[in-house]
Amino acid sequence: MPGKSSAFPEGVVDVSIIVPTCFENPLKEESIKFTEDVLAQKKRAVLPVTALMGAYHIDTRYLKIPRVAVKKVLEGIAESGSAALYPQVTPENAVNGLDYACAYGIESWDGYLIAIAKGSGTSIIYSLDMELAKAREVTVVVPFSSEAVSKYHDFLRAKGF
């Protein structure tokens, strides 16, 4: 059953890790590889299903990537049947996430990731968003090479983002 892996995860995957999988950019290949490793459980992490919805929103609304192309990639992830997919959006996680968001002045989504991490027995969040580092309960890990991340940020800036 998705989200019910018997192994404790090493971390939680943030939406910022999924966004680059959906369009051509300097981080795409590393993002795809990491996501595939998570889905195959070579990398023991949970991927909140809500991150797929967030990736669609960011890719289509802000980055202006064609909707059908983004949908196709994200559908593939959602339909993978991987036990890494974390479908539970419980009221408890929402309340805890809001508590973290208020305490650290971060986005509610980021607070939700912290709540999932704590509830899953991990303190690692895989992300490009260093705002999460404000929370002392977690460690932000960027799972990509610094060179690729730098090129990705340069790419986004050149596109006006």
Spatial separation of the C-alpha atoms in residues 5 and 138, rounded to whole Å: 21
pTM of the model: 0.93
Name the residue ranges covered by the structural domains of the chain.
11-158
Strands 11-13 and 124-126, sheet pairing: parallel
Residue with tokens 């949970």: 46
Task: Tell me the pLDDT tens digit for each residue of 107-130.
Answer: 999 999 999 999 999 999 999 999
In the chain, which residues have pLDDT < 70? Answer: 1-7
Q: Which CATH number fits domain 11-158: 3.30.2290.10, 3.30.70.990, 3.40.50.1010, 2.40.50.100?
A: 3.40.50.1010
Sheet-wide strand order for 45-48: 85-86, 45-48, 11-13, 124-126, 139-141
Hey, is 125 helix, strand or coil?
strand
